[in-house]
Amino acid sequence: MPPNNLTPACRRKRNAAVATITNTDPQYMTPEQLRLRQLIIDTADSSFRQKGIKKVTMDEVSKNIHMSKRTLYQFFREKEELVLACVKNNLDREQQFVTQISVRSANALEVILHLLEYRIQDFGSASDYYLREINRYPTVAQYFKNRRAQSMKELVELLNIGVEQGVFVDNINFEVFSKCMGFLSDSVLQRDRGMEEFSISDYMRHFVVTLFRGCATDKGREIIDEFCQQNCPN
């Protein structure tokens, strides 16, 4: 039920859930408290993506879900904590997607291609302000850095699996490959070094895919070409 259409009974249930919050750590929350916390995260993330993080205030977030700012601060003590929760939520969803697609994919290359398409849609829905402002929050920047390092490690593992599956060549240093890709991705996501003229979609579809074609075998290139024909309109 939308927040602005809450019945008196629902409001009493919400108030009761909030009144018993003693710890902002999700592992100590009740199911109802977790539901409210997720509502806050989803609402805030939508606003952050549309307007950028700086322009969205905690007051605006609370008004969007018809919740008092005092109640909001019982879940998130400051804006940076809420931004971090949004980033964690998005990256956790991406990891869940990778887990699911890994089961359905025939090889490591297909996993990578589906992940690229996921990121095109995910980042494509965010304003340039959002992408630039994420790293202005120290705890968020450090968390993002740690998750990216793990992501790069997992990419190397996928590439090596792809070699065994015959979709990638075996004469490339994938450690170097992944670090260079990470550097270039940062430039695009932060919209700096002249990269602001390119959309995230353009970068993913026309540059990243080309990089993977460069380290793919004939079999791998056929998979890439077929995937692009089906999923990557010109």
Where is 219: in which H helix or E strand?
Answer: helix 218-231
Q: What is the pLDDT of residues 41-53, one digit of tens each?
A: 999 999 999 999 9
Q: How much is the mean pLDDT over the chain?
A: 85
Model pTM score: 0.84
Q: What is the pLDDT of residues 141-189, one digit of tens each?
A: 999 889 988 999 999 999 999 999 999 999 999 999 998 888 777 766 6
pLDDT of residue 223: 95
Q: How far is CA 10 from CA 4, 36, 74, in A?
A: 11, 12, 19
DSSP 61-120: HHHHTT--HHHHHHH-SSHHHHHHHHHHHHHHHHHHHHHHHHHH-SSHHHHHHHHHHHHH
Closest CA to 82 of 44, 56, 52: 44
Q: What is the pLDDT of residues 67-124, one digit of tens each?
A: 999 999 999 999 999 999 999 999 999 999 999 999 999 999 999 999 988 988 887 7
Number of residues assigned to the chain: 234
Instruction: Sketch the domain layout of the chain as residue ranges.
Output: 3-77, 81-231
pLDDT of residue 1: 46
- 81-231: CATH topology: Tetracycline Repressor; domain 2 (1.10.357)
Residue 232 CA from chain centroid, whole number:
20
Return the biggest CA–CA distance within the chain.
66
